Structures are given as structure tokens and as C-alpha cells.
Structure 1
Amino acid sequence: PPPPPPPPTNPQTKLSPHVLKLRTTSPKFINQALKAQPAAAPTGPYFFYGTLADPSLLAEILGLVDDTPHLRPAHLLGYACKLWGQYPALVEAGPGSVVHGFVYEVRTRADGERLALYETENYRAERCRFKFVEGDGEGGKEEVGYTFRFVGDAEELSEGGFDLGVWLRRMGRR
């Protein structure tokens, strides 16, 4: 004999199709943060602390044919660098923390967008205050500009230092 028919459904206990869909969706999908749409790339001084501190790489990214980028030594207070794989990741830190790097003047939105594309969605251009290093003619002067801060998954970061010279050799750029 055939199996008995299912019991009648109570309209008050019937689940909405939306609830059923949520119940069958992977929790990983539900708990993912929405990616913010990138804002228009700002122009002005940018503090670079990693791979962009290499003038030849910066010139290549920006398409500067006969012009070597002018990088001025500076440091950023209140931040520290961790590693995201082989790349440095700038994160907020205590007031005594210092990150050394260079400042470059980004003149056009197109250049800002090229830099943002190079940095990927795991980094975002954010306002910062940096101080020029003594001895470059502007030593000690503070200025407000931008830097690429890591906004990816903090669990993917590890402790460690970034050495631009070593990275350039590994990439076959030196």
C-alpha cells in the first residue's frame, strides 16, 4: 500500500519562502561583511610604507615614462605594520608606534585610482598626519595627507617586518 499522505499544514505554522531560503543559505555567506564601494580616489600627499616606496615600481604603476617620482622621507605616528602574506599592512597602534616611509604628491584622480587598484580592496586610502624626516629641507614639518590602511580580514595578518630590498629581489626587480 502507498504511504499515508502528509498531515495537513497549519497556515499559522507555514514558513515563509524567505525564512526557508535563509535556513538553507551557508552561514559564511550570511556573515560576510558587505564590501564598501570605493570612494573617489583623493589627490594630495600620500604616505607610502611598502612596495610603493620603490620609485621604479611607483613610476611603472603611474605610467611615468621620463619622470622619476620625488619621494620625501617621513614617518607616521600611531600606526604599525604587520604582514598580510608578503605585503606590509598598516594598522592602528599606540601613540608611541612609528612607521617609516616616504611621501609622494598624487596630482590626479586617475593616479589615485591607479594606486588604489594596485593596493586592492584590502587597503583603503585614509587621511593621516605624517611628519617629514629631519634633513630633507622640510624636516619636522607635519602635514595631512593619505595612506593606504589595511581594511581586510585582520585574522589574516601576522607579526613581522617588511624589507623592501628583499621584496624587490624576490620579485626579480633588482
Structure 2
Amino acid sequence: MTNQSAQSTEALDSNFKPSLLFCYGIDKTPSFLKRILRLREDPILTPAEIIGYRLKLWGPHPALVSCEDSTPENPSIVKGVTYRVTTEAQLQRLKTYQGTNYIIEPLAIYEISSETGEKAEKQGGAFVWNSLPHLLRDWGNNP
């Protein structure tokens, strides 16, 4: 790595702010995140859910999409976990894995206490489908 590229990486890292990421599908498994993020230990994950979204399938892969018919009386809920992304390198690894069909969309995440079951609203993001809708198919009852 040249001095200039080392400085660019440092500049990226100095602007990076740790953020909460909602994970669903295989992304919510500790072994997957540990491998993709090159972590030495299992990641700390917190049960969570988001409202106003649903899962569809792109081939065998889950794709998170906005759910237009979600209402307060009949909310569309997706369950998953949260992970705190702490470095620019982690974020880039996740973006590389997800590819260009997904973007990180800011959203409200409800973390669920494993001790009390209480929900705490937090701001974070999730990888949301950002490609052609006709490539997706329904995923039954949305696990």
C-alpha cells in the first residue's frame, strides 16, 4: 500500500461513524457475519424487527422491500437481528457481499431485549432491494 492510498483509507475511516445494521436472512447468523467481516470472535447480535417492510426472494436470496399495505392496525413486520458496524472496512465488506442490487436504507429498528422482551426504537439501516421488482417472487408467509 502506498503512502497516498494509506492516507485515503485513513481519511475514509476518520469520516466513518459506527452504525446499526438490521440483518435478515443468512446475514443474521453469527458464523456468516464472522466470516464476511473477518472477525476473531462471534459478533454481538441483538434480536430486532422492522415495520413496514417484507421479504421477497431473488432466486434463493431474501430481498427486503417496502410494504405499501402495512398499517398500524395490520403492520408488516420482518424479524432479524442488529449488528453495530464499527469500521469502514466492515461496511465495505458487507456492501461487496450484497452487490449492487441492494442499497442501505435508513430506517427505524426495534431492538428486543432478550431479558424483558421490551422493544427499544433505534435508528439504523438495512440492505434493501434496489433493482428491478419483476426479478423478485413472493416468499410465502414472510418468515
Q: TM-score, normalised by structure 1?
A: 0.65
- Mapping for residues 98-113 of structure 1, pairs under 5 Å: 98-113=77-92
Amino acid at match of 1:89: A
CA distance in 2, matches of 1:92, 1:80: 6
CA distance in 2, matches of 1:98, 1:122: 22
**1:80 maps to which residue?**
54
> Which protein shows a greater Rg?
1
Partner of residue 69 from structure 1, selected from 24, 43, 47: 43
Q: Is the 8 A contact 2:31 2:42 kept in 1?
A: yes
1:43–1:112 Cα contact (<8 Å) kept: no
Aligned residue number for residue 34 of structure 2: 59
Check whether the contact 1:75–1:100 (CA below 8 A) recurs between aligned residues: yes
More strand by proportion, 1 or 2?
2
Moved over 6 A (4+): none
The answer for unaligned runs of 5 or more in structure 2 is 1-14
Query: What percentage of residue pairs aligned between the two structures are identical?
Result: 33
Gaps of 5+ in 1: 1-39, 164-174
Please give the alpha-carbon distance, in whole angstroms, between the structure 2 residues aligned to 1:140 and 1:153: 33
Q: TM-score, normalized by length of structure 2?
A: 0.79
C-alpha separation between the residues in 1 aligned to 2:119 and 2:58?
A: 31
Name the amino acid aligned to 2:54: A
Q: 1:81 to 1:41 in 2, by over 3 A?
A: farther
Bigger RCO of structures 1 and 2 (CA < 8 A, at least 6 apart): 2
Q: Contact conserved, 1:44 with 1:105, CA < 8 A, in 2?
A: yes
**1:154 pairs with 130, 133, 136, which one?**
133
